[in-house]
Structure 1
Amino acid sequence: MTDRYQAFTKNPIGKMLVKNLGLPNPTPLERWQGGSSLVNGTVALGGKARLSDAVANALAGLGISTDLAATAEGRYKGLVFDATGLTESADLLALQQFFTPLLRSLDRCARVVVLGTPPELLSGAERVAQRALEGFTRSLGKEIGRGATVQLVYVAPGAEASVTSTLAFLLSPKSAYVSGQVVRIGVTGTQEAPSVDWQQPLAGKIAIVTGASRGIGEQIARVLHRDGATILGIDVPQAASELQSVMKELGGDSLTLDITHADAPQRIAHHVAENHGGVDIVVHNAGITRDKKLANMAEDRWSSVIAVNLTAPERITRALLDAGAINANGRIVGVASIAGIAGNVGQTNYAASKAGVIGFVDSLAEELTDGITINAVAPGFIITQMTAAVPFATREVGQRLNAMSQGGLPVDVAETIAWYASPASTAVNGNVVRVCGQMMLGA
């Protein structure tokens, strides 16, 4: 699907109207291509505190060029600031002193990452200062423009060596439609992040993707396969032909069933054990909508959405865990939605199910063992065949109400899931990251 408004802004008449009327002028986003370097340019490093050495080492290992003596005369593809040394509110001035001189030196589609310490682990003035970083990064994300993104990464003490996979994602074009987000990296306890081939980080891994025959699910399968995984695609019998076609192209395996059936979790666990000996990545992507205002909603509309979007992922995950089918350092990923955070008119059932996915992550994150993690993505307006059917005016508003003034693509959701799925992301657990271009509504 194409963004007709974005194309319009690039022709002579469109350019004139954008300039004279102050209309949104979305910047075409850079997205990663296989075989490319992670960062095409130099990243300036600022702040000298707890994470400085770990960040410098991580970027060097990723082959990313860095500058420790950044000047306004340079050109930068990224800025990384270690704010862990800010221990009281007066120290926040360091943010202005580092960023203000450099922001005009950023290239198009640049990346900004601020690193801090989780406020909940602190007290007093230091807790105040670290919590202030959220307001700073969210606001900067809404004003930076030109396709750039801004993120805050809270790194727990003791997790310094676990920042590499998150920096690789957030500084690269893989995070094109992710901005204004807060990521938490914790202490893993039992699993150290292994070194990986950054071109094929999922080599040798088995990944389940539900709803894999089309749309976002198909793109998730393609990106995980690109990164080296063998895909087990799952979809309803009505989509069997499409599913088998995609899996044949990817050299994967397919299983057709209705995930809401009583025996579906056991069938999936049995198939995994018999055919693959276990699974490393489980992506709960399958989902449906049955929109109506609550006053007009029938019980079957409510129940079907909850069953597919929330109850099935809970039951499938529990069956796989109980069967020991998820391998050590495995990954569970839920697909939530911005609707589950901000709500939508006519979507009480859908929003409840997607908020429930977030609750599922919160509930399970501390229960998991053997280095298994659970996280979720929360897509905003993603351009798919489904959104193409939305009335034109509604679709246009939906695409413009974010800091990037455009809709995202299925690959943007898939890239975020691939970051979670990486064996090197073992310290990324219990996160919900919005893939929404930083929507203006909903935190």
Structure 2
Amino acid sequence: MADKYMELVNTGLTKKLATMLGLPRPPRLRRYSPDAALLPGPVLILGASAKAQELSDTLVSWGLDVRRHDAGEAKLGGLVLLLDELERPTDLSPLMLAAGQALRKLLPGGRVVAFSRPAGDDDEPQLSAVRQGIDGVVRSMGREMRGGATANGIVLEAGTTVASPSALAALRFFFSGRSAYVDGQFLTVRTNDGVLPADFAKPLAGKVAVVTGAARGIGAAIAKTLSRDGAQVVVVDMPAAGEALAKVANSIGATTLQLDVTAEDAAQQIMDHAIGRHGSLDLVIHNAGITRDKLLANMDAGRWDSVIAVNIASQLRMNEAFLAAKLPGLRIVSLASTSGIAGNRGQTNYAASKGGVIGMVHASAKLFAENGGSIAAVAPGFIETEMTAKIPLGTRTVARMVLPSLMQGGLPVDVAEAISFLGSDAAAGLNGQVLRVCGQSLVGA
């Protein structure tokens, strides 16, 4: 959604006119700023959990005003639902009805986060029913949010609790402006691995990070965000993008590596540069990607093969080399896409490659964990980039209008924020996750 339109429908006489005409009024999203409060108001915790008091104490240590069970007349910045001990669907009623009343007090840009347990094949039917039901509850809440507020969930696997390091890290991510375009999504905490940073403003301090496809768009935003978060960054792109790559590097004090990611020795070149120049390689962001859209009936081998080569085959080859090198604690974050989840007309090749990224991440999690590392992916939806600008104007306009509650496309920085979080040591317990950054829509690439 163009900034001009957003300004017109949210200010002055044009705001009143837009309301009278029933025009979409996209809210201004609460994005991250190092100086901003974690939440715009107090946080209310509803429900019971074995670690509820420990969670409350942690939130207080973060500088939050925490309320338990009842917020009185206070306007709320956040709502935490402890649903991890529910045993049957009827247990949801009192908590969700109380949550509904609390939502009336939620401030613009507020956050709702639910903790739950995964439904399992060996569960009793009642238990599995309530756990799967929570999935539907949270996603539906996300579609009901207004004023840029969001609702997301954290799923706790056996042995983890609301106070596990990566559970707390996920909660802080969902609370903050870093998750502005993440709505109706879940992160699963699988282990108690993860170390919260000494400084939440610099979660990547001391890390060396490589970003491929960094010359422009989402890649440039990722590089800048990782640098802001404390990492020494190496930006990588094709030689043809050298001038644009140098501008990105100069703006953040990064080093550059001109490289075709499909080269057989791409991983070795990355390792040689990062370790040779900076002493280590801690984080690799597989962002480089291309589109060659065509209806499958009109697809040719050149379009199909080039997309597969860049978007997935190169990542598989590089990851094999990284694993063989046994780099300690290496974290990988790959760019998937909602096209790889729901499909997209004219993008069978692209959807195959991005669906392939998701499969790669799931299957590689154990391999990277063996050496103390992790792998994850971010699946962007409709993000305003040069790539989405090529979508016909009518399609783009409709796509923005039908987005559930946020009513706007995301920005490259929204993707970058999720990548920085998933690439941090605090997110180690989220190994193998794929997080959609799509405003709860499946429109876009």
TM class by shorter-chain length?
Answer: over 0.9
Pairwise CA distance, 1:58: 3.0
**Alignment partner of 2:430 out of 428, 431, 437:** 428
Counterpart of 1:378?
379
- Greater displacement, 41-50 / 349-358: 41-50
Work out the CA distance in 2 between the residues paired with 1:121 and 1:320.
Answer: 35
Q: SS state of the match for residue 424, structure 1?
A: helix
- 1:236 equivalenced with 2:235 (yes/no): no
Output aligned runs, 1:33-44, within 5 Å. Answer: 33-44=33-44
Q: Percent identity?
A: 41
Which 5+ residue runs of structure 1 have no aligned equivalent? none
Work out the CA distance in 1 between the residues paired with 2:55 and 2:413.
Answer: 27
Counterpart of 1:346?
346
- 1:137 equivalenced with 2:138 (yes/no): yes
Work out the CA distance in 2 between the residues paired with 1:122 and 1:7.
Answer: 52
Counterpart of 1:120?
120
Output aligned runs, 1:42-191, within 5 Å. Answer: 42-71=42-71, 73-120=73-120, 123-124=123-124, 125-160=126-161, 161-162=164-165, 163-188=167-192, 191=193
Pairwise CA distance, 1:271: 2.2
Work out the CA distance in 1 between the residues paired with 2:72 and 2:407.
Answer: 28
Pairwise CA distance, 1:121: 7.8
Pairwise CA distance, 1:145: 1.6
Work out the CA distance in 1 between the residues paired with 2:72 and 2:23.
Answer: 30
Output aligned runs, 1:226-305, within 5 Å. Answer: 226-305=228-307
Q: SS state of the match for residue 279, structure 1?
A: coil
Contact 2:323–2:367 (Cα < 8 Å) also in 1: no
Pairwise CA distance, 1:366: 2.2
User: With structure 2 as the length reference, what TM-score do the two structures score?
Assistant: 0.93
Work out the CA distance in 1 between the residues paired with 2:350 and 2:14.
Answer: 37
Alignment CA distance shift 1:254-1:48 (3 Å):
same
Contact 1:165–1:422 (Cα < 8 Å) also in 2: no
Alignment CA distance shift 1:387-1:194 (3 Å):
closer
Pairwise CA distance, 1:324: 2.3
Contact 2:169–2:196 (Cα < 8 Å) also in 1: no
Contact 1:269–1:319 (Cα < 8 Å) also in 2: no
Work out the CA distance in 2 between the residues paired with 1:242 and 1:440.
Answer: 30
Work out the CA distance in 1 between the residues paired with 2:397 and 2:50.
Answer: 44
- 1:208 equivalenced with 2:210 (yes/no): yes
Pairwise CA distance, 1:317: 1.5
Work out the CA distance in 1 between the residues paired with 2:30 and 2:194.
Answer: 32
Pairwise CA distance, 1:26: 0.9
Contact 1:336–1:378 (Cα < 8 Å) also in 2: yes
Which 5+ residue runs of structure 2 have no aligned equivalent? none
Counterpart of 1:408?
410
Residue type matched to 1:259 in 2? V
- Greater displacement, 315-324 / 299-308: 315-324
Alignment CA distance shift 1:13-1:298 (3 Å):
farther
Counterpart of 2:227?
225
Pairwise CA distance, 1:333: 0.5
Counterpart of 1:20?
20
Q: SS state of the match for residue 197, structure 1?
A: coil
Pairwise CA distance, 1:428: 1.1
Pairwise CA distance, 1:181: 0.3
User: With structure 1 as the length reference, what TM-score do the two structures score?
Assistant: 0.94
Pairwise CA distance, 1:440: 6.3
Work out the CA distance in 1 between the residues paired with 2:318 and 2:122.
Answer: 37
Work out the CA distance in 2 between the residues paired with 1:122 and 1:116.
Answer: 17
